[in-house]
Amino acid sequence: MIAFLNGDYRPLESVCISPLDRGFLFGDGVYEVIPSYRGVLFEADAHLERLRRSLAAVRIADPLEGAAWRAMLERLLSLNPGGDRAIYLQVTRGVAAREHAFPETAAATVFAMVNPIRSPEPELAERGVAAITLPDQRWGRCDIKAVTLLPNVLARQQAAEQGAVEAILLRNGQVTEGAASNVFVVRDGRVQTPPLNDAILPGITRRVLIDVLRDTARACVEQPIGEDQLRAADEIWLTSSTKELLPVTRLDGRAVGDGCPGPVWREALAAYQSAKP
Ligand code: PDD
């Protein structure tokens, strides 16, 4: 696999990053995961816009010009031809002697690699997946796509140890999001997802889904979801660039609705698939 580091394209095995990189020492960086289908990027502009927003929020100067980002992504895809891929793209504050405050001079480190998108196995989508709920122990700026993911890692691991694919996080009695996904619920045919604020990542898949649902009879309302609403939902869905739209059929060991992926999920998935390249 060919990866990108600071202007060079080279085999991933030969990419070296300094142990003094602030991404390694402090988790001082931001990232994106950008899907592509048969060589065509999906929603690249939205991902790059969110990257710019994350960079500005953590005060890392944007290291590339607008069109250069896109050109780099396209080149990386062409160097890694094949099926459906997700580009992982990370920008850190760069290499400097270890000191918490920003270094006076350090060039941002830009790294990107390509991974296959493992679409959920058809049987998994047919059966749905299990999720657990956990308290949201993250910081107050979850709208920034920061590489500092320890609480997310711990939550996802706890889910995995309990045979679940995701942890749905609760803060002050309300659903925020999954450890690496946004959350939707359906009750009596009505689709709902928490509104954007600093407690959740503004997911691109979330936004695409809201857009495609607007054109159907299932317009989504963006309103807080209480824990009781989550537990009473007929359907629960998870969205992300790599998972797309996954139905949760067991929550904390109990069936969600009738325990099978629901009819509204099927409609929504069809609408989402039609938006993909
Ligand atoms: N994560 N919320 C969190 C905390 C996430 O980490 C992600 C995605 C999402 C969904 O965002 P999007 O639809 O833009 O992918 C929501 C990526 C896929 C990851 O960390 O691998």
* Distance in Å, CA 199 to ligand 1 centroid: 13
Same-domain pairing of 138 and 271 = yes
Q: What is the pLDDT of residue 6?
A: 97
**Nearest protein Cα to ligand 1, atom 1:** 180
Query: Which domain covers residue 12, as residue numbers?
Result: 2-116
Q: Which of 90, 116, 142 is the C-terminal boundary of a domain?
A: 116
Average pLDDT, the chain: 96
Q: 239 CB less than 6 Å from ligand 1? A: yes
Q: What is the pLDDT of residue 27?
A: 98
8 Å CB contact between 3 and 16 = no
* Distance in Å, CA 194 to ligand 1 centroid: 15
Among the atoms of ligand 1, which is closest to the Cα of residue 200?
2
8 Å CB contact between 213 and 141 = no
**Nearest protein Cα to ligand 1, atom 4:** 180
Same-domain pairing of 217 and 231 = yes
Q: What is the pLDDT of residue 82?
A: 85
SS3 content of the chain, % helix, strand, coil (to 5): 30, 30, 40
Q: Please state, as a whole number, how many other Cβ atoms lie within 10 Å of the Cβ of residue 154.
A: 14
* Distance in Å, CA 145 to ligand 1 centroid: 8
Rounded CA gap, 219 and 191, in Å? 7
Q: What is the pLDDT of residue 63?
A: 96
Same-domain pairing of 127 and 72 = no
H or E stretch covering 41 = strand 40-41
Same-domain pairing of 108 and 191 = no
Confidence class for position 99, pLDDT limits 50, 70, 90: very high
Residues assigned a catalytic role: 145
Pocket test for ligand 1, best of 201, 242, 246, 276 (most atoms within 8 A of CB): 201
Q: 176 CB less than 6 Å from ligand 1? A: no
Q: 90 CB less than 6 Å from ligand 1? A: no
Same-domain pairing of 135 and 265 = yes
* Distance in Å, CA 27 to ligand 1 centroid: 17
Among the atoms of ligand 1, which is closest to the Cα of residue 47?
14
Confidence class for position 132, pLDDT limits 50, 70, 90: very high
3-class secondary structure for 154-179? HHHHHHHHCCCCEEEEEECCEEEEEC
Q: Which of 64, 89, 116 is the C-terminal boundary of a domain?
A: 116
Distance in Å from the first CA to the final CA of the chain: 23
Q: Which of 99, 116, 133 is the C-terminal boundary of a domain?
A: 116
H or E stretch covering 122 = helix 122-127
**Each residue's pLDDT tens digit, 18-57:** 999 999 999 999 999 999 999 999 999 999 999 999 999 9
Q: What is the ipTM of this complex?
A: 0.99
**Nearest protein Cα to ligand 1, atom 19:** 180
Q: What is the pLDDT of residue 48?
A: 98
Pocket test for ligand 1, best of 240, 244, 272 (most atoms within 8 A of CB): 240
Same-domain pairing of 111 and 147 = no
Rounded CA gap, 93 and 110, in Å? 9
Task: Using the predicted structure, report yes or no on whether residue 126 has a pLDDT greater than 90.
Answer: no
**Nearest protein Cα to ligand 1, atom 20:** 180
**Each residue's pLDDT tens digit, 245-262:** 999 999 999 999 999 999
Same-domain pairing of 169 and 216 = yes
Rounded CA gap, 265 and 262, in Å? 5
Quick one: average pLDDT of 88-108? 96
Q: 204 CB less than 6 Å from ligand 1? A: yes
**Nearest protein Cα to ligand 1, atom 16:** 181
Same-domain pairing of 152 and 244 = yes
Same-domain pairing of 245 and 137 = yes
Q: Which domain CATH number covers 161?
A: 3.20.10.10
Q: What is the pLDDT of residue 95?
A: 98
Quick one: average pLDDT of 173-191? 98
Same-domain pairing of 203 and 164 = yes
Domain total for the chain? 2
Give the full edge-to-edge strand order of the sheet including 8-11: 8-11, 2-5, 109-116, 85-92, 29-37, 40-41
